Structure 1
Amino acid sequence: MRADAQRNRARLLAAASAAFARAGVETSLDDIARDADVGSGTLYRHFPTREALVEAVLDDRYEALAAEAAKLQVEHSPQEALLAWLKLFVNHLMTYRGLAASVTAALHNETSQSHSACHAMRAAAYEVVAMAQRSGAVRDDIDASTILHLAAGVAWAGEQSPAGRAGVGQMLAVLIDGLHCNSRLPRAPD
């Protein structure tokens, strides 16, 4: 990539990150191009779809979440590592309004561009969950994918709540309590 194209891409990513934090992932792509001081054509040459732009902005964040999962596993008990990582994941999802829904959709859609960007983060999360389950601290009848979806639901609910982040801690605490081995309830009928 030419130097000017690299600069334009970097400016687009910085502008997109700021715009997503300010107005959510559904913000105007034309506004992002204007904030980056490039034309819309330049934006679409680098990122042909909104999903491609969101994926590019999130790549570094997913890598950081994967690295943090590995670090937490070394430094904490399996249960503490899972709980700390879930808090980081929910906070990540709440960085950009609308991200929780995008990530949930990507987790279901293997053909999505964002699905591949989530792969390393998901694999790390699955290992944190598996380690907590092997230790006996976390229920083994709930798979990691379900736990990620529930955490995304907590983030989404926090986005929708007038209280915002204030209620997220309590919702996350309920989720975490439900993961403990001693909290098994009879299965609800399908």
Structure 2
Amino acid sequence: MAMSTARTPDRPMRADARRNYERLVGEARTSFAEHGTDASLEDIARQAEVGIGTLYRHFPNRHALMNAVFQEALASLLARSHELAEAEQPCRALVEWLGAIVTHAGEYRGLAQALMSASGDTTSALAQCNVPLRQAGARLLARAQASGSVRADVSIDDLLQLTNAIALAAEQTPSDPGLADRLLMLTLQGLKSGAAAPGPRGD
């Protein structure tokens, strides 16, 4: 996942610019859901009844537009992390939250791959989505580790990459709707403090 704003002006938008912005985000959300995150930006602009130049004035690239589209989902994921912060079983709470990310990523074909590709690019607007997600996940992970239920060598960055990989695997195997849940259960087993840490390659 990633998600902060696509491009924040130094001053408030004019009413017409705000309408164009909102139309573009709405049409992008529909197009990404129907056609995947590689949907044509020209088609999105046309459906929003604006020129492609207007789209690029608001969103300098595809990742900036994706970032804007996923703000609502980001808010939901962050709210869920707060709800799970007091769960009785911190390890299961962490995995449940990771599962919510998988579910969100599954709503848009290509999102998981885009998030994985953007994770190492600090200049990407989409990578900025990962900042609040990483912070929220790190809090859940730290609580689970403090309880002794999760291994100390687990990092939130690895978990988010693993979560995106699970979402991508599920996307590419639509004939197996239970795949993501099974992979998440394997993740749960691997996170537990009694699980053996992986040895050097070849062991």
- Asked if residue 42 in structure 1 is aligned to residue 39 in structure 2, the reply is no
Rounded to whole Å, the distance in 1 between the matches of 2:123 and 2:162 is 22
Q: 1:11 corresponds to which residue?
A: 23
Normalised by the length of structure 2, the TM-score is: 0.87
Moved more, 3-12 or 74-83: 74-83
Q: 1:62 corresponds to which residue?
A: 74
Which digits, 9 at most, give the CA deviation of each residue in 1:61-91, with x for residues without a partner?
A: 2232122111211244312320210110111
Rounded to whole Å, the distance in 1 between the matches of 2:88 and 2:18 is 40
Q: 2:7 corresponds to which residue?
A: none
User: Which residue among 74, 77, 86 is the counterpart of 2:89?
Assistant: 77
Structure of higher RCO (CA pairs closer than 8 Å, 6+ residues apart): 2
Identity of aligned residues (%): 39
Moved more, 129-138 or 108-117: 108-117
User: Which residue among 37, 42, 45 is the counterpart of 1:30?
Assistant: 42
Rounded to whole Å, the distance in 2 between the matches of 1:154 and 1:61 is 18
Which has more helix, going by share of residues?
1
Work out the number of aligned pairs and report it.
Answer: 190
Q: 2:106 corresponds to which residue?
A: 94
Rounded to whole Å, the distance in 1 between the matches of 2:92 and 2:49 is 45
Rounded to whole Å, the distance in 2 between the matches of 1:158 and 1:113 is 25
Structure 2 unaligned residues grouped into runs of 5+:
1-12
Normalised by the length of structure 1, the TM-score is: 0.92
Moved more, 85-94 or 75-84: 75-84
- Asked if residue 187 in structure 1 is aligned to residue 195 in structure 2, the reply is no
Q: 2:140 corresponds to which residue?
A: 128
Structure 1 unaligned residues grouped into runs of 5+:
none
Aligned-residue CA RMSD (Å): 1.7
**Conservation of the 8 A alpha-carbon contact between 1:94 and 1:155:** yes
- Asked if residue 138 in structure 1 is aligned to residue 154 in structure 2, the reply is no
> Secondary structure at the residue paired with 2:108?
coil
